[in-house]
Amino acid sequence: MKNSKKTNPDLSDAKQRDLDVNRSNAENQFLTTDQGLKINDNNNSLKAGERGPSLLEDFILREKITNFDHERIPERIVHARGSAAHGHFELYKTMEKYTKAGFLNDIKIKTPVFVRFSTVAGSRGSTDLARDVRGFAVKFYTQEGNFDLVGNNVPVFFIQDAMKFPDLIHAVKPEPHHEMPQAASAHDTFWDFISLMPETMHMIMWVMSDRALPRSLRMMEGFGVHTFRFINDKNESHFVKFHWKPKLGTHAVAWDEAQKISGKNSDFHRQDLWEAIESGNFPEWELGVQIIPEADEHKFDFDLLDPTKLVPEDLVPVTIVGKMVLNKNPDNFFAETEQVAFHPGHIVPGIDFSNDPLLQGRLFSYTDTQLSRLGSPNFHEIPINRTVAPMHNNQRDGHMRQEIAVGRVSYHPNSLGNGCPFQAKIDEGGFASFNERIDAHKVRARSESFSDHFSQAKLFYNSQTQVEQDHIANALSFELGKVETPAIRERMLGLLSFVDSALTATVAKALGIKVPVDIQKPINHGVGADDEGKQEPTDKKQSIESSDALSMLKNATISNTIATRQIAFLCAEGVNAASVKTMKQALKNAGAKAIIIAPHLGTIVSEEGLEIPVDQSYRIASSVLFDGVFIPGGKGIIALKDLKEVREFINDSYNHCKFIAAEAQGIKVLEDKIEKVKKDSGIITSESVGDKSLSVSFIKALGRHRFWEREKML
């Protein structure tokens, strides 16, 4: 169901009008200059004679070249590589007990949204499959103004104070003397910084986990990261944490697979999101909140204002309050995905900030960034950034001003304009910051309650299955194996020893060095005026030691749908058509898609004499781009035993723990490549052709996503 060019019925009329106002449709139109002058010759510059010099008066050439020269704006310093989509948010139940935000009170409203997903460290041209945090930014076009929930797919962050953000990004970016490596944290400067900043250890556990390698942007969670406030009509405050829960479940790829995907299709996530929306398989997330009464601010084993800490769902359950659906791709990548300007300071009445020092710094940084990238304080007038709420103020002029303000008055108070625009009272929807009592000295310091850097790192690691813990150890071994400075490796082993001794020993063995003895508490750089680490890191025992909500595999059964999954059918001339048809129909009924792969494009002829269209050839297909493999029956299938591309395809599928199904002659092909077929319960077989029970078992297995137990057999 193609729909990207259609008007989106879920956008409010006002927002659709703003998106349409500068939309260009050149169908059946004359070519013109930017001023509307029809162009007679777009192929030749104006010259003094056919072979003479070009003339300065050629205003058409100058306009065309000038526009081309200025097509690129500075890319984002972080989150440069992004993908985005339009959609809407709808509320399940009113939240008026906690917040007066209109879009969280009226279940009849469908609030338009624009969502941008991104990697953090890489440039615009980097791969989608880098090991990295993923940005998850949502712009709500509410009737009270724009609300931007600018978060990540990880609920915590590396650092506690925005003062350290430039240092973090400078460390993770390519090293400045040779601009390498691109979109990777596996290098000395990053781990040098991390090894000297113990507050990063919780986030490091998340980034070294499979959360940093999502199977799809549609299959990852989102978090607001910071603690915010809800304010209700009675001016009562509750702390709130925001969560996005994907309806397709949370899934990842293997690290070796991620590296190969980067080589086969560096746009893997971008293409996956685009094609899902184009085909009508609209991605969905549910919005959940953790609500904490103001009186309970200090009852936890951690500080709610510390962005390196999460609130375990075992202590405060996530309440699902609404659903977000993405149902329209952008019409123009630059105009929308690249020019969209998010800001955590874009809030509406009923939502307010906490004193999280990282959040406080972001409130300054984002405006400054948009001024640099988009060149003007008028970035809010770009159609993708415009609010659907009425906009009236006394701000004027500046670069690229689009609003034509009428009248003689541009100041407040005034009498010549009858006092307009008026200030709004609180009961008229006017925003007022929460009246929080503050009584303190001006200091450059951190609260003692921020000094626990290891307990939640332990909590996360302890919450993982053995498979997930093994992946964390492997990731650390890979990353630190790329570090060339021995002292950095040793410092990291020292930090890891405060998380888990077995993890430390595994990484140390991979690095070929011993775990340091008599490990001292690491210096906590940056918490005091003299930078001598006067505030020693603590290791506070938590009230819970493990939380199933933090493990992807423990939650895999929550959403075992295989909708939108891509299954490779390894075929050849002489394949059994009934075998292909039975499995293909079963997968289609389950929402998955069968991709027919054969030695050549066009069609192949089955053993029954029927023509079967081919989607991809073995020359261009790769197992890392699929979620599972089926080898059908048929006399001609035996020929696949002699194709090296098929051997590589099957071996990679097996090594990446994917479920594989085969029937009749397809089993022989599989056994020729894999010796452990009969011992591996991740491989489903049937001697019969067109066996419906095989498709039932295969679809059930695919719902588990991967057969990770196979790693112990490899």
CA 235 to chain centre: 34
Strands in 490-634 per DSSP E: 566-570, 593-598, 603-605, 611-613, 616-617, 628-631
On whether the CB atoms of residues 155 and 202 are closer than 8 A, the answer is no
Q: Which of 79, 88, 226, 453 is catalytic?
A: 79
Measure the N-to-C terminal CA separation of the chain; round to a whole number of Å.
Answer: 42
Count CB atoms within 10 A of the CB of residue 400.
Answer: 12
Q: What is the DSSP string of 242-264?
A: EEEEETT---B--HHHHHHHHHH
Task: For residue 79, indicate whether it is catalytic.
Answer: yes
174 CB-near residues (< 8 Å, 6+ apart): 180, 181, 182
Tokens of 191: 């781990």
Beta bridge partners of 115: 85, 138
Q: Which of 152, 153, 474, 576 is catalytic?
A: 152
In order of 434, 613, 632, 667, the CA distances from 635 in angstroms are 74, 18, 10, 12
Q: What is the DSSP string of 432-496?
A: ------------S---GGG-B-SHHHHHHHHHS-HHHHHHHHHHHHHHHHT---HHHHHHHHHHH
Distance in angstroms (rounded) separating the CA atoms of residues 620 and 502 = 42
On whether the CB atoms of residues 254 and 310 are closer than 8 A, the answer is no
Go through the chain and tell me how many residues it has: 714
On whether the CB atoms of residues 632 and 579 are closer than 8 A, the answer is yes
In order of 130, 457, 483, 602, 638, the CA distances from 208 in angstroms are 12, 12, 15, 43, 42
Q: What is the DSSP string of 645-688?
A: HHHHHHHHHHHTT-EEEEETHHHHHHHHH-TTGGG-TTEEEESS
Count CB atoms within 10 A of the CB of residue 165.
Answer: 17
CA 448 to chain centre: 33
Distance in angstroms (rounded) separating the CA atoms of residues 84 and 330 = 7
Residues with a known catalytic role: 79, 152
